[in-house]
Amino acid sequence: MLQQDQSESAACFLSRHPVFDRDKTIYAHEVVARSCLHPGTPAHSDVQAFSWLVTDGASELQNLLEECDRLLINVPDPMLDAPEVHLLPMDLCDLVVSPEHCTRANLAEVLEFLQDYGYSIALRFEGDCAQHEHLLRYASMVILDLTLLSPLQLAKARKQLKPFPVKLMVAGIDTWEAFAGSKALAFDYFAGTFFGRPEIVKGRKLSVNNLTRMELISALLKEDSTFAELAAPIAKDAFLSYRLLRYVNSPGMGLGRTVSSIEHAVAILGDTSFKHWAMMALVSSLDSTPKGEELGYLSLQRGAFLEKIAARAASSPLPPRSMFLLGLFSLLDAMLDQPMEELVGTMPMDPRIKAALTGERNMLAPWLDLLACVDQNQFCDVTAILEGQKVNRFGAARDYLEAARWARHCFRAGKDGEDEGQEQAGA
């Protein structure tokens, strides 16, 4: 029987998705709030989720703005002239509007008011935008969705938009080839799941540094490994040691005391917990590019989310700590741009985790599907998967939000000390 939470105060899933520029630097985050009460409601009409976002979720928006300079926020048609819109900071947000789903006769008037008030407006189109050309004067950005357009249609739309002084964004990019094609068409910004997939280049090998860290991850996964065996390779990587200490001392850990050395951390945590935190530090530091940092954050969040909902599930396939590892390693191939089979093939991990990571449809596959559906904003599927695993969706929404907060605390702790740690590494 489906577990029921006594409180349903967190009635929305809140996720954020990176928007990259042509140099693969993160320009903004698109914020997605979707109602748990009405999971089948389209984003362009999810009034309940928008109202929650600008009231109960306002503190989360502020946290997101500390990570990125700009947010793209979908505004449902019924809320365009509602007072809640003005709770959004106009200098830091783009209001995303979908004209094709607007039923109001005065849309141009409303957009003109918002523009004059000081808001930047992004118009999102699913098809031909020619019939809405009269609205483009109010837009600073136009968003086209590659999941709904063929490459030929995308190229045609790009040509139609050329005379207008707007930035152009392609959403729904799911491969690196599609990213390259969209970039060749001179689009400015790019969003989708492509960055969470490996960009395979024939002949590319792991760097010596990452090869060493992968060997250390394998050593940490051995149940019988001890700190005495791991101390030397960890000590040789000054940056990793520093980042690990920042993680252990982060608010998410809640130790209530300052850990001053790796030996001190082991004495307090014990070998098992220490290895857990060391793996987190290793995975999140494999790629220092903007794409890699985003994947590092998501890896921590994914791990924490699966750990939390596994504890909630009526019958989790693996213990929560093992589910954490499933989420933590789920983007490893994208971080290192190597096939997952090659990365985990010789790792001493649970065979079921290894099989799921390499694409086998075993009992863990629905949990990876869940992560993918959240990434792709497929919340009808999210609800179906949660029900299939007998996890309450309201509890899962809270878990996702808490996992994001925890990952943010940990990742910021690591980033705050990164420059100092790199200086120590180079000393």
3-state SS, one letter per residue, for the chain: CCCCCCCCCCCEEEEEEEEECCCCCEEEEEEEEEECCCCCCCHHHCHHHHHHHHCCCHHHHHHHHHHCCCEEEECCHHHCCCHHHHHCCCCCEEEEECHHHCCCCCHHHHHHHHHHHCCEEEEEECCCCHHHHHHHHHCCEEEEECCCCCHHHHHHHHHHHCCCCCEEEEECCCCHHHHHHHHHCCCCEECCCHHHCCCCCCCCCCCHHHHHHHHHHHHHHCCCCCHHHHHHHHHHCHHHHHHHHHHHCCCCCCCCCCCCCHHHHHHHHHHHHHHHHHHHHHHHCCCCCHHHHHHHHHHHHHHHHHHHHHHHCCCCCCCHHHHHHHHHCCCHHHHHCCCHHHHHCCCCCCHHHHHHHCCCCCCCHHHHHHHHHHHCCCHHHHHHHHHHCCCCHHHHHHHHHHHHHHHHHHHHHHHHCHHHHHHHHHC
Split into its structural domains, the chain has a count of 2
> pLDDT-derived band of residue 7, with 50, 70 and 90 as boundaries?
very low
Given 149, 168, 196, the domain boundary residue is 196
Range of lowest pLDDT (37-46, 391-400, 413-422): 413-422
Q: Looking at residue 254, what is its pLDDT?
A: 58
> Domain of 306?
208-426
Given 196, 216, 243, the domain boundary residue is 196
Verify that 216 and 347 share a domain, yes or no: yes
Q: Read off the pLDDT of residues 303-320 as tens digits, 9 standing for 90 and up.
A: 999 999 999 888 899 999
Verify that 179 and 232 share a domain, yes or no: no
- The answer on pLDDT for 19 being more than 90 is yes
Q: Read off the pLDDT of residues 155-200 as tens digits, 9 standing for 90 and up.
A: 999 999 999 999 999 999 999 999 999 999 999 999 999 999 999 8
Range of lowest pLDDT (95-109, 151-165, 221-235, 360-374): 221-235
Given 196, 216, 235, the domain boundary residue is 196
Verify that 173 and 279 share a domain, yes or no: no
Verify that 165 and 187 share a domain, yes or no: yes
- The answer on pLDDT for 85 being more than 90 is yes
- Would 6 be classed as within a structural domain? no
- The answer on pLDDT for 4 being more than 70 is no
- Would 203 be classed as within a structural domain? no
Q: Looking at residue 5, what is its pLDDT?
A: 45
Verify that 227 and 192 share a domain, yes or no: no
- Would 20 be classed as within a structural domain? yes
- Would 3 be classed as within a structural domain? no
Q: Looking at residue 130, what is its pLDDT?
A: 84
- Would 1 be classed as within a structural domain? no
- Would 160 be classed as within a structural domain? yes
Verify that 192 and 271 share a domain, yes or no: no
Q: Looking at residue 10, what is its pLDDT?
A: 57
Domain with residue 116: its CATH number is 3.20.20.450
Verify that 127 and 157 share a domain, yes or no: yes
Domain with residue 263: its CATH number is 1.10.3210.10
Q: Looking at residue 398, what is its pLDDT?
A: 93
Verify that 115 and 232 share a domain, yes or no: no
Verify that 182 and 323 share a domain, yes or no: no
> pLDDT-derived band of residue 251, with 50, 70 and 90 as boundaries?
low
Residue 415: CB atoms within 10 A of its CB come to: 17
Residue 105: CB atoms within 10 A of its CB come to: 7
Mean pLDDT of 32-42: 81
Q: Looking at residue 415, what is its pLDDT?
A: 62
Verify that 397 and 374 share a domain, yes or no: yes
Verify that 136 and 176 share a domain, yes or no: yes
Q: Read off the pLDDT of residues 91-101 as tens digits, 9 standing for 90 and up.
A: 999 999 999 98
- Would 2 be classed as within a structural domain? no
Verify that 24 and 170 share a domain, yes or no: yes
- The answer on pLDDT for 272 being more than 90 is no
